[in-house]
Amino acid sequence: MNRIKITVVIILTILLSYSCSTMKNNVRTNVKISSDLIGQNGIRRIITEPVDMQIGDASYKFNMILDLSVNSKKYYLGVASTSKMQENNVLLLKLGNNENVKLTASDVKVEKVNMPKDLTILGGKQIGLSINRNVDYYSALFDVDTKVLEGIKNHGIIKMRIEYMDTFFEQNWWSNELGKYITESRKMLDEQSKKPNKARTPIEDGF
């Protein structure tokens, strides 16, 4: 009987190790720059390519944004979803050292987008067809200061909670998936910011 128990424990340990390893391998850390533009206000905005994540029962896209001007440097966590967001919405992060971080949406935009919806028949079975539907798509910016970014880099993110109307969606991570993405994104943004933006390069340069 003891041998059976030992065997079961060994098998479970192997499966758990494999599961953790797989989760770590699925973490996206190869972040790329999506755009690097100069706005009409003269502020240079650099944006990373988004990553899709499931937070509770809702799907979200996350990206990182860096705004640069002569006298300021500001980071934002961009969040987009068909799940409703509004200004002052709260996003909570729990770091690996159990520190709680509260981020507040400073800017929220909504636009109409076409998204496919699977058709169903009586009994709830899908029939393999889909139609396009117009839905509201929300994009929010959450201010993130450098102290928070350093905390994420050093301790990772183990839990997230995002406000949704009068409730919230929540997600736990073993793999620090969002934390790794944010840290790698900041690194890429900083590296890109050191390169000249084509819109700022004088026409005579290199002529």
DSSP codes joined into one string, 89-117? -EEEEEETTS-EEEEEEEEEEEEEEEEEE
pLDDT at position 9 is: 46
Give pTM, 2 decimals.
0.75
Confidence check: pLDDT of 122 > 70: no
- DSSP tag of 200: G
CA-CA-CA-CA torsion sign (30, 95, 45, 141): positive
**pLDDT (average), residues 55-72:** 94
pLDDT band of residue 1 (cuts 50, 70, 90) is: low
Q: How many CA atoms lie within 13 A of 68 on its CB side?
A: 18
For 64-84, the DSSP string reads EEEEE-SS-EEEEEEEEESS-
First to last CA, the chain: 83
pLDDT band of residue 3 (cuts 50, 70, 90) is: low
Q: Count the residues in the chain.
A: 207
At 129 the three-state DSSP class reads strand
- DSSP tag of 203: T
Distant-in-sequence, close-in-space partners of 34: CB < 8 Å, separation ≥ 6: 47, 48, 49, 50, 63
Interval 143-180: pLDDT, tens: 999 999 999 999 999 999 999 999 999 999 988 999 99
Give me the amino acid identity at 29.
T
Distant-in-sequence, close-in-space partners of 103: CB < 8 Å, separation ≥ 6: 77, 90, 91, 92, 93, 142, 143, 144, 148
